[in-house]
Amino acid sequence: MNGIILAELVLYCLVMAVLGYRYGRKEMSHSDFLLGGKKLPGWALAFSERATGESAWLLLGYTGFVFASGLSAIWVAVGIVIGIVCAWLFLADRFRQEAERYGALTLPSYLAKRFGAHGRTILWLSTVLIFSFMMFYFSAQIAGAGKTLFTVFHIDPKLGMVISVAIVIMLSYTGGFVSVVWTDMIQSVLMLATLVILPIVALLEIYSGGLSISAALHQAKPGLDSWTGGAAGFALGLLLFNNFAWFFGYLGGQPQLSVRFMALKDAREAKTAKTVAIIWTLLAYGGAFLIGLAAVALYQNQSFADVETVLPHMALDLLPPWLAGLLLSGILAAIVTTADSQLLVITSSISEDIVRRSLRLRLSEKQLVALSRAVVVVAGLLGLVLAMTSESLVYFIVSWAWAGIGCTLSPAILLSFFWKRYSGVGVIATIVAGFVSTILWISSPLEAIISSRFATFAIALAAGVLFSLLFPDRQQAR
């Protein structure tokens, strides 16, 4: 079995390498490298955005979370799905329009140009924020790859991480944004196939074996068979709210997702992209939730050293080798699609936001592309080191990074889009408050009470409003 699966994984890697090489041969400007020149179709950007947004966290982290938490894990999916739908319906086309209006290639450069008097400070603070948390987010993907390869082939997890980083660096280095989007599209299909096919097979296995998900949930441990996790009163409110709090990170503040909105060509392409993205999301999260529940019934008498390996175990146990290989490639696809996009975000923060916009170094387009590629390699290797030295679970690393970046920058985007009195000082206050509050919150007992995903959003939003009122921009003060 392992030989067939290994052959398919190698074939998958070769296909990705060929695609990366194809786009890497083309001459491209810095704008093409970072944003694709706004020439990509909306449906491809939608597949890419969804694959980027739902990484190893969804296939490994969330399925394991459902396996360990039971029915109450549904509220995580509810919050995320609503957040994704709101982002595509109300923010995507606005991002496209604002990017065109200000000629912005990145989310920080949009904020800097929108509030020009404080542009340099905004660029530096945004870069520090994105680099700090995005590196941990990136390392979580690489850690997920190591888990997958260890589960399937018993390869040393660190060797699996090295292999994964090599693929990610190659894709990001060669063709930039265009290469990443087209390879994301293929990988997005693989991910969706995994999340649709595997739960169907698992449910058929449960039915044919005379098993019961509801009985397994009841017998496993207290609370698993309850939509409220067995909690009541105030504890129930906190459970539902903290799980739902993922919603706040999807409101425009994730740069690796927002750049897909900015790359949309026109309103027609944006409309197509919305439909594709929403359908993909509903199918993927429904499938991931069912996989976690099915695992409770299938493995009720077994224990896992790491619950985040439930999905690969299930694929190996239930599927023929050729299909298991394809679907397990979907896990690596999830990792690669998010990781290469994260590398490009880190790269754009340094080459575009700092070197070109803040330091205003006069580099040619060719030199800027070369610089971006160098940053890809350095950042990729740094992420590998972090992945090898971190023992945290994928789910929790991603949740903290989600708070630090998404729940900090989401208030900045919402206020800049929908509140005319938002000021440059308000943007600075939003970023500083979000960055500091995330670090302090996750380091304190408060994280166990109220998630930093909500706390960061609320504190950053309040700081942005307060400082905008205290320090309005000059044109507003007149």
Tens of pLDDT, residue by residue over 130-158, are: 888 888 878 877 877 777 777 666 778 88
| Domain boundaries defined on the chain | 2-392
d(CA 464, CA 118): 14
Can you read off the two tokens belonging to residue 189?
């299909």
pLDDT tens for each residue of 214-272 = 899 988 888 888 888 777 777 778 878 888 888 888 898 888 889 899 999 899 999 99
Q: What is the pLDDT of residue 475?
A: 65
Helix 310-318 × helix 157-208 angle, to 10°? 60
Nearest to 456 by CA among 247, 261, 258: 247
Domain over 2-392 is classified CATH 1.20.1730.10: yes
Positions in the chain short of pLDDT 70: 1-2, 5, 17, 19-37, 56, 151-153, 174-176, 330-331, 333-334, 337, 390-399, 475-478
Nearest to 284 by CA among 410, 197, 359: 197
Q: ∠ CA(224), CA(227), CA(229), 5° rounding? A: 50
Q: What is the pLDDT of residue 144?
A: 74
Q: What is the pLDDT of residue 288?
A: 95
Q: What is the pLDDT of residue 175?
A: 61
CA dist 381 → 201, 215, 373 (Å) = 38, 47, 13
Q: What is the 3-state secondary structure (H, E, C) of the chain?
A: CHHHHHHHHHHHHHHHHHHHHHHHCCCCCHHHHHHHHHCCCHHHHHHHHHHHHCCHHHHHHHHHHHHHHHHHHHHHHHHHHHHHHHHHHHHHHHHHHHHHHHCCCCHHHHHHHHCHHHHHHHHHHHHHHHHHHHHHHHHHHHHHHHHHHHHHHCCCHHHHHHHHHHHHHHHHHHHHHHHHHHHHHHHHHHHHHHHHHHHHHHHHHHHHCCCCHHHHHHHHCCCCCCCCCCCCHHHHHHHHHHHHHHHHHHCCCCHHHHHHHHCCCCHHHHHHHHHHHHHHHHHHHHHHHHHHHHHHHHCCCCCCCCHHHHHHHHHHHHCCHHHHHHHHHHHHHHHHHHHHHHHHHHHHHHHHHHHHHHCCCCCCHHHHHHHHHHHHHHHHHHHHHHHHHCCCCHHHHHHHHHHHHHHHHHHHHHHHHHCCCCCHHHHHHHHHHHHHHHHHHHCCHHHHCCCHHHHHHHHHHHHHHHHHHHCCCHHHHC
Q: What is the pLDDT of residue 306?
A: 75
